Structure 1
C-alpha cells in the first residue's frame, strides 16, 4: 500500500506518540479553561484518535465530505473535546478555535454536531447510538459498492446499551467486513467501576459468539493500535482496547471521580508538568 504524504509512516510511532501528548496537553488546558469536560475518558481515547487521524483514516481535511473518505463515528460523544483537538490539529479547522469550547455561540459544544463541525460524521451523545448508525453507514457502502471503511469508538460502559448488541448481530448478519468497532475498555463509567455495575466483561467471547473477529490490544501502544486498525478480514472486526481512564496523569489515572471532574489550579500545574515531562 502506498502511503499518502500527509500521514505518518508506520515505523514512526515516536512521532504519533508525540502528537498524542500534544493533544492531551491541549485537551487538559481546554477543560481547565472551560471549567467542564470529560477528561478521564478523553485521556483514555486520545492514542486511538491520534492513530486514526494521523495514520489510518483516508481523509481530506480541506474537503471533509469527499465521498471516498473513511468514516469515523465517536459514539462516546461526551469526550467530544478530544475529537475537537484532534480534528483541529489535523487541519479540519483552526487550532485556535479550541479555546471557544463550550463558550456561547461556539460550534464546539459538549457533544459533536455534524452540521457545525468539519470532520464530524454524525451527531452523538445519547449512548448506544453510534454503533447502530455505523452499521448503517457500512451497509450503505456495501449496497453502493463504495470502498470506504467505517470505524466507531464506544466506551465499555456504553456497551450495556441493548441497541449495541442488536447492531452487533446485524453487522454479522450483513457480513460487514468494512466495519471496525473499537471499545475503549478503561474499566470505569460515570459514577462507578464497570465491575460494580452491569459488567459485560470479558467482551471477547461475546463478540466472537456473534460472529465477529476480535483483537485485544494495549490501547496506549501505537505499535499495537495501528496494526489492529489496519487489519482487514472477512467479518466485522472489534478492537478491544485496554486503556486507562485519565491516562498520562498520575492523580487521574484509574480514578472514577475523574469521569468529568475539573482540575484545580494546582492539579492543572501538576498535570501539565507530567505530560510535558513525558514528552522529553
Structure 2
C-alpha cells in the first residue's frame, strides 16, 4: 500500500482561498490608507500654518517692542535747554527753520486741540482726507492694485516721513545736543520702490512700512549728517503720535503691524500703545 495519500479537493480549495487577500479587501485597505494619509497631511499643514503665523506675529511684536522701548527711554531724556545758536540746517525760507531746537518739535503741540502725526501726515500720494475726531491724523485711502505710498520730501514742517522729532543732551562726557527723528517710510533704492511685492502684504490695500531712526549731533555750527537707519522690517502699518491739548508734556504713541492669518486668509493685528510723560 502506497504511503502517499491524495488530499481531498475541498482541502486544496480551502488552502488556496486562505493564501492571500481578495480584491475587495485590498481596495478597502487602500482607501483607509488614503484617508489616514490625507488626515495626517491636513494636520501637518495646519500645524505648519499655525507655526508660521506664530513666528510672524512674534517677529512683528519684537519689531514694535524695539521701537517702543527705545523711543520711550529717549523721550524721558528730552531737554528744554537751548544753546541759542543752533539751527535746523535748513534754509530760512522753509517752515523748518523756524522750529524750536529743543523739546519736542514734531508733532507740534497746540492748546486749541489735540494734535497728531502719522502716516497720513507724511505721504503725498494717494491723497488723504481730513482727519476724523477718532484718528486725528489724516485718513489714508486704500491702495489700488500695484500702487504704493509716495512719501513727501517736504510737507509743511514735516519732511521725509518724520513722525516724531525731539532733542536731548548727552552729558556723559562733553555735553552734546542730539536731534532725534523717528520716521515712517518704505524701502527705496534711489527713487525706485524696493519693498515687498503687493502680493505679500497681509492686507493688499494697505502697504506695510518700516520705521527709521536718525540721531544727529550739534557740532557747533551745524548738525551732523547721519542718514536715517531702519529700525524695523517692512511690517509697520501704523505709527501715530498724539499730543493732547491739555498737556504739552504727554504723548500717546501707537504702533501697529498687520500679519497674515492662517493660510494667508485674513490678517491679525499686533498693536502696542504707550503713554509717555516727558520732563521738558
User: Which category describes the TM-score, using the shorter chain as reference length?
Assistant: under 0.3
TM-score normalised by length of structure 1: 0.26
Q: Greater relative contact order: 1 or 2 (C-alpha under 8 angstroms, separation 6 or more)?
A: 1
Higher percent of residues as helix: 1
In our comparison, the structure showing a higher alpha carbon Rg is: 2
TM-score normalised by length of structure 2: 0.26
